């Protein structure tokens, strides 16, 4: 079990269980994690910042308005630094603030500004925990993909018995360790492409597609969680870089994506092509905006774009190649055809449309390879990406060692 070099932001809100979070910092650091603590003002009434500072070996942040601390590591930088945010204890008030998207102190602001998975360990009186308002807020968080850890049931500091106790530090640490998977790709270099390509017609128009980049970004994040050193080549998308991605290269056209992917994969072990690369581009790009020709049709002549996966497959030394196939019908036939024709090691096929595939939060995949087909049923793109990366790693290790 290791958390070596993992960056954990521990949020501590106001509750008597804050004393257990001191132990939690020690246990996380025992496994090699870097821990930075952000306390709410309420938390400081239970445990002093000096205690957390001594245990974490890092300055503790409390206020959004601390100019000196902001100059050292601003709150956005802190939000990007974190690979996991764990809030322990999470009071009823903090849970309500998170559920309603408040950003009225440093901890809630960092939570909104971070793309890191959020783990929340509630701790409160059993009557409060059972309250409909608290349960509704917890449901909201769960639906948003926040991971709820506990609470446990038993004797409470207030003398009540029931559900609302914070999980023990070792239980919380176990959940964080599990969240990183078993680092099957540690030491491996993985390049992921994501998003659409835009092929310019003139200075104001382009040919593009509906890819949002969410699937590819989720794959990049899952590969980081599996321990890989990840380079993300992204088409034009408006997504934050997943925490832990070593390098992000933004491109626009298929040609630019090909150049970036070929350069980035020169020393890579695995390439996962989740990008929806345009197959064609206008043969000529007009220098000026093309004017409307009243009544007359406009014809565009299209030239074929390079096939990025095909280019990599043709190299004598090539990374392990995983493609995606987005199809509206005959998914299996087209996917198997691309697997063979493009010379891939594996291909993840998705049927697009009907709330899945492009733009959607969920997806469903069938993974084809020499071993046959593996179904990855409908789930959030993050969850699917974790399963997909685990399967890719299994196959990669089997054939490349």
Place of tokens 């691309």: 338
Given the complex with ligand PMT, which of 56 and 193 has the nearer CB atom? 193
Reference 18, options 124, 134, 144, 132; nearest CA is: 124
Given the complex with ligand PMT, which of 13 and 193 has the nearer CB atom? 193
Given the complex with ligand PMT, which of 23 and 269 has the nearer CB atom? 269
**Dihedral angle, C-alpha 35, 40, 46, 48, nearest 10 °:** 50
Separation CA 191–CA 321 (nearest Å):
10
DSSP of 78-98, one letter per residue? HHHH-SEEEEEEE-HHHHHHH
Separation CA 79–CA 116 (nearest Å):
8
User: Is there a catalytic annotation at residue 22?
Assistant: no
Q: Is 338 in the site for ligand PMT (CB under 6 A)?
A: yes
Catalytic residue from among 158, 266, 300, 399: 158
**Residue range at the interface with ligand PMT (CB under 6 A); choices 96-104, 109-117, 212-220, 239-247:** 212-220
Least distance CB 116 / ligand PMT (angstroms): 19
Q: What is the number of other CB atoms lying within 10 angstroms of the CB of residue 137? A: 20
Least distance CB 38 / ligand PMT (angstroms): 31
E strand map for 295-371? 302-304, 320-327, 346-351, 362-369
**Residue range at the interface with ligand PMT (CB under 6 A); choices 79-87, 207-215, 243-251, 290-298:** 207-215
Given the complex with ligand PMT, which of 92 and 277 has the nearer CB atom? 277
Q: Is 213 in the site for ligand PMT (CB under 6 A)?
A: yes
Q: 3-class DSSP state for residue 295?
A: coil
- Under rule CB under 6 A, which residues in 250-279 are in contact with ligand PMT? 254, 273-277, 279
Among 309, 313, 339, 389, binds ligand PMT (CB under 6 A): 309
DSSP of 123-165, one letter per residue? ---HHHHHSHHHHHHHHHHHHTTPEE---EEEE-TTS-EEEEE
Among 9, 357, 382, 386, binds ligand PMT (CB under 6 A): 357
Q: Is 358 in the site for ligand PMT (CB under 6 A)?
A: yes
Among 214, 386, 391, 395, binds ligand PMT (CB under 6 A): 214
Q: What are the tokens at 280? A: 């064609």
Q: Is 323 in the site for ligand PMT (CB under 6 A)?
A: yes
Q: Is 326 in the site for ligand PMT (CB under 6 A)?
A: yes
Place of tokens 């197959």: 279
Given the complex with ligand PMT, which of 201 and 215 has the nearer CB atom? 215
**Dihedral angle, C-alpha 64, 30, 185, 248, nearest 10 °:** 20
Q: Is 13 in the site for ligand PMT (CB under 6 A)?
A: no
Provide the annotated active-site residues: 158
- Please report, as ranges, the residues that interact with ligand PMT according to CB under 6 A: 193, 195, 211-216, 254, 273-277, 279, 305, 307-309, 323-326, 338, 350, 352, 357-359
């Amino acid at each position: 079990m290791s958390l070596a070099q993992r960056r954990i932001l521990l949020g501590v809100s106001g509750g008597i269980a804050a004393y257990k979070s001191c132990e939690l910092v020690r246990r996380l650091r025992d496994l090699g994690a870097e821990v930075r603590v952000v306390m709410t003002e309420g938390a400081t009434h239970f445990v002093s910042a000096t205690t957390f500072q001594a245990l974490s070996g890092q300055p503790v942040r409390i206020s959004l308005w601390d100019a000196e601390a902001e100059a050292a590591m601003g709150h956005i930088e802190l939000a990007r630094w974190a690979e996991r945010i764990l809030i322990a204890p999470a009071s009823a008030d903090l849970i309500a603030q998170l559920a309603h998207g408040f950003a009225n102190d440093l901890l809630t602001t960092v939570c909104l500004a971070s793309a890191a998975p959020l783990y929340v360990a509630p701790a409160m009186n059993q009557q409060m925990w059972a309250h409909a308002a608290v349960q509704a807020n917890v449901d909201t968080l769960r639906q948003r993909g926040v991971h709820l850890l506990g609470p446990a049931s038993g004797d409470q500091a207030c003398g009540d018995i029931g559900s609302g106790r914070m999980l023990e530090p070792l239980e919380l640490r176990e959940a964080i360790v599990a969240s990183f998977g078993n680092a099957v790709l540690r030491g491996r270099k993985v390049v992921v492409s994501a998003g659409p390509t835009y092929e310019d017609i003139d200075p104001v128009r382009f040919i593009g597609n509906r890819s949002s980049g969410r699937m590819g970004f989720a794959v990049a994040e899952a590969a980081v969680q599996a321990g890989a050193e990840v380079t993300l080549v992204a088409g034009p998308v408006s997504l934050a870089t997943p925490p832990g991605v070593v390098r992000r290269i933004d491109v626009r056209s298929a040609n630019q994506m090909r150049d970036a992917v070929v350069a980035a994969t020169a020393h890579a072990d695995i390439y996962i092509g989740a990008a929806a690369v345009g197959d064609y581009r206008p043969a000529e790009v007009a220098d000026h905006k093309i004017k409307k020709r009243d009544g007359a049709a406009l014809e565009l002549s299209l030239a074929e774009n390079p096939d990025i996966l095909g280019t990599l497959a043709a190299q004598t030394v090539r990374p392990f190649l995983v493609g995606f196939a987005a199809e509206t019908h005959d998914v299996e036939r087209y996917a198997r055809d691309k697997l063979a024709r493009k010379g891939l090691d594996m291909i993840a096929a998705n049927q697009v449309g009907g709330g899945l595939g492009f733009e959607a939060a969920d997806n469903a995949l069938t993974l084809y390879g020499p071993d046959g087909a593996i179904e990855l049923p409908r789930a959030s793109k993050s969850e699917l990406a974790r399963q997909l990366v685990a399967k890719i790693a299994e196959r990669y290790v089997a054939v490349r060692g």
